[in-house]
Amino acid sequence: MEERQRQMDDKMRPDAGAVEVSPGDVNDGPATTADKALSALPYVLPLADGVVFAAHLFGAFPEQTAWAEPLVAVLLALRSVPFATLIGFFSLSVGSSNPQINKLVRFNMQQAINLDIALILPGVVGAITGAVLGSDASKLAPLANAGSDVVFVALLAAVAYSVGTSATGSFPNKLPLLGRLNRENPDNQEGGEQ
């Protein structure tokens, strides 16, 4: 009976099920060149989800955006694979809590997840506006196009800043709102200070 009670008490402890990590398993050291390169990969997820906001820009300025067509083709191909971005989202989520991955890479994984989540809001606003207005939604096409352009350019700026800053080995924690979210994440406490 005492053994059973002890087992129950062990299960009720707040740290029950927690994974013990030895100091040798945590990769909080300076980022290597490979870590800096890997820090850019997570941003494929928000770019793949955000490429839909680029339709107006690519249609309105075909000559100026021709350089990005190969990247857009890859992103659209990724979006065409069923559940690819969902699998990528959960993979980044799991990877961002793996202490064996360098802290810079984990920080960028979390930031890419936050960027991807932030893209939900403009998509929902557009869908609700289209549903409420019905056939009258076409009257707001110039406003919708401008909104999509702003969202895509902001996404590109955030990704360019994050990739560029990570390439120097620094944490890209200065993005408005998203940088604060990452700094407040307990896994990224040191990353927020750099």
Tens of pLDDT along the chain (194 residues) come to 666 666 666 666 555 444 454 545 566 788 889 999 999 999 999 999 999 899 899 889 988 888 888 888 888 888 889 999 899 999 999 999 999 999 999 999 999 999 999 999 998 998 898 888 888 878 888 888 999 999 999 999 999 999 999 999 999 988 888 777 776 766 665 544 44
Q: What is the dihedral of CA 102, 107, 109, 110, to 10 degrees?
A: 140
Tokens representing residue 127 in the block: 């869908």
Label residue 192 exposed, middle or buried (CB < 10 Å: 0-12, 13-18, 19+): middle
3-state class (DSSP) for residue 37: helix
The confidence score (pLDDT) of residue 64 equals 86
CA 148, 89, 185, 156: dihedral to nearest 10 degrees?
Answer: -30
Quick check: 110 and 188 in contact, CB under 8 A?
Answer: yes
Say how far apart CA 118 and CA 107 lie, in whole Å: 16
Question: For residue 170, is it left (φ>0), alpha (ψ between -120 and 50) or beta?
Answer: beta
Question: Which residues 6+ apart lie within 8 Å of 54 measured at CB?
Answer: 65, 72, 148, 152
Contact 166, 36 (CB under 8 A): yes
User: If phi over 0 gives left and psi between -120 and 50 gives alpha, with beta otherwise, what is residue 102?
Assistant: beta
